[in-house]
Amino acid sequence: MLNQLREKLGSFAAASLLLMVSMTIVNAGNYVYNLIMGRWLGPALFADISLIVTLLLIITFITVPLQLTTARYAAIHSADGNQAALASIHRWMTRVAILVGVSFAAFFALGAPLWAAFFQTASPLPFVLFGLALPFAFAQGVNRGVLQGKMRFTTLTVTYQVEMWSRLLIGIFLVWLGLSVNGAVLGIALSFPATWFATLPALKGLPACNPLAPDVRKAVAGFALPVMVAQVGQILINNSDILLVRRFYPPASAGQYAALALIGRIVFFATWSVVTTMFPIVTQKHKKGEPYQHLFWVSLGIVAAIALPVTLAALLVPEYIVRPLFGDQYLGIAPLLWLYALATTLYALANVVVNYRLSLGKGRETSFAIAAGVAQVAGIILFHNTLSQVVWVQVVVMGALFIVLFWRNLRRTG
């Protein structure tokens, strides 16, 4: 029994490590992208780029539900060997993705002058460039879901590498040519079709399929709804602070806070691989009737082991983190770095609970995530006289969210 447990944990740990190493490289590349933009363009223009990046993260309230929903059914049908059913799921989800992508493209491109005026950006063009690339962003989410559900983690990691490197190299080159913010955003936009091409191996081996039956579509949509609720909560939690600070503070201060958030989110993105690996493995084990509860505790332990040292370093030597990354003009955020990292740690732990429950097909806990997101928005609106208040609101809300979700999961084990 002990040897079997070690073998299971070894497989889980190996997949998590593969994704973690890949995502560390991806995050490093994304940080290099932001660091170069922050240094070359200064806080005010960097705030415009950060706004587009934040909107990209907000758009994940569609891409992540598409990916996770596809991943769940890909895991289920891979477990029972029904590739025809998986192909039907993929085709239907792709059609939904393209339809939604075109709608969002029109939303951002046609409304670009309005968004430029509202967010006080220098030009509406970045919104147009960003919007036109969104259909590719949504379609790639479906293909990634197939890879994740079939546990083809190596190919999955390649798609994230392609996205990061294309964004980094194209963006830096265009800014170097003198295109400023528009060049940086065009690099982001072109990374979407590049990544979509990289996800095409997900389709290899899928047979011809029949249209998805109405009852199956209903079941898929029923699962996608709580996933979307959880993602809306994640978006509010991870991005509302940047948007609100951008609204309440002058561009230079908003740019400094964007740098704080960028550094503080290291914890969340570093632990993302654990949740990504856990999701399909728990789903398949639950489908087959095999033990899976131990994976919840392993996932929490790995996340804590990654997050706590980062938070401690942010507490003890914040200047040595901020200065090399962004320079002296951003040192004002150093005292807040450990608090932001703590808030992110608490949310990363809560995210493990939410995704564990979702992997079992149980989505009630997602309502707590969106409630926490709304509470954070309300708290920041009420308490934003200083950036310290903004960060403390997040620490309190994320602490409450993790405690509630952890307690509920203990009562509903299995």
Q: Do 238 and 59 form a contact (C-beta atoms < 8 A)?
A: no
What is the DSSP secondary-structure string of 58-79? Answer: HHHHHHHHHHHHHHHHHHHHHH
> Is a pLDDT exceeding 90 seen at residue 319?
no
Q: What is the DSSP letter of 204?
A: T
Q: Bigger pLDDT: 411 or 139?
A: 139
Q: What percentage of the chain has pLDDT greater than the value 90?
A: 32
The tens digit of pLDDT for each residue in 158-184 reads: 999 999 999 999 999 999 998 988 999
From its phi and psi, is residue 190 left (phi > 0), alpha (psi between -120 and 50) or beta? alpha
- Per-residue pLDDT, 8: 52
Q: Do 351 and 275 form a contact (C-beta atoms < 8 A)?
A: yes
- Per-residue pLDDT, 2: 43
Could you tell me the pTM of the whole model?
A: 0.74
Measure the CA angle with vertex 110, ends 108 and 116; round to 5°.
65
The tens digit of pLDDT for each residue in 263-276 reads: 887 788 778 778 88
Q: Is residue 364 helix, strand or coil? A: coil
The tens digit of pLDDT for each residue in 84-109 reads: 888 888 899 999 999 999 999 999 99
Give Cα 65 to chain centroid, integer Å: 11
Q: Using CA atoms, how far apart are residues 224 and 142, in angstroms rounded to an integer?
A: 12
The tens digit of pLDDT for each residue in 322-376 reads: 888 777 778 888 898 999 999 999 999 999 998 888 888 887 778 898 899 999 9
Distance separating the N- and C-terminal Cα atoms of the chain: 20
Band (pLDDT 50/70/90 cuts) for residue 393 is very high
- Per-residue pLDDT, 414: 47
> Is a pLDDT exceeding 60 seen at residue 378?
yes
The tens digit of pLDDT for each residue in 50-59 reads: 888 878 877 8
- Per-residue pLDDT, 379: 94
Specify the range with the lowest mean pLDDT, choosing from 205-214, 216-225, 255-264, 299-308.
205-214
- Per-residue pLDDT, 1: 43
Specify the range with the lowest mean pLDDT, choosing from 7-16, 123-132, 134-143, 249-258.
7-16
Q: Do 71 and 149 form a contact (C-beta atoms < 8 A)?
A: yes
Q: Do 273 and 26 form a contact (C-beta atoms < 8 A)?
A: no
> Is a pLDDT exceeding 80 seen at residue 219?
yes
- Per-residue pLDDT, 127: 93
What is the DSSP secondary-structure string of 304-342? Answer: HHHHHHHHHHHHH-SHHHHHHHH-GGGGGGGGGHHHHHH
- Per-residue pLDDT, 7: 53
Give the Cβ contact number of residue 114 at 10 Å: 11
Q: Do 220 and 356 form a contact (C-beta atoms < 8 A)?
A: no
Q: Using CA atoms, how far apart are residues 294 and 337, in angstroms rounded to an integer?
A: 33
> Is a pLDDT exceeding 60 seen at residue 5?
no
Q: Using CA atoms, how far apart are residues 268 and 283, in angstroms rounded to an integer?
A: 22
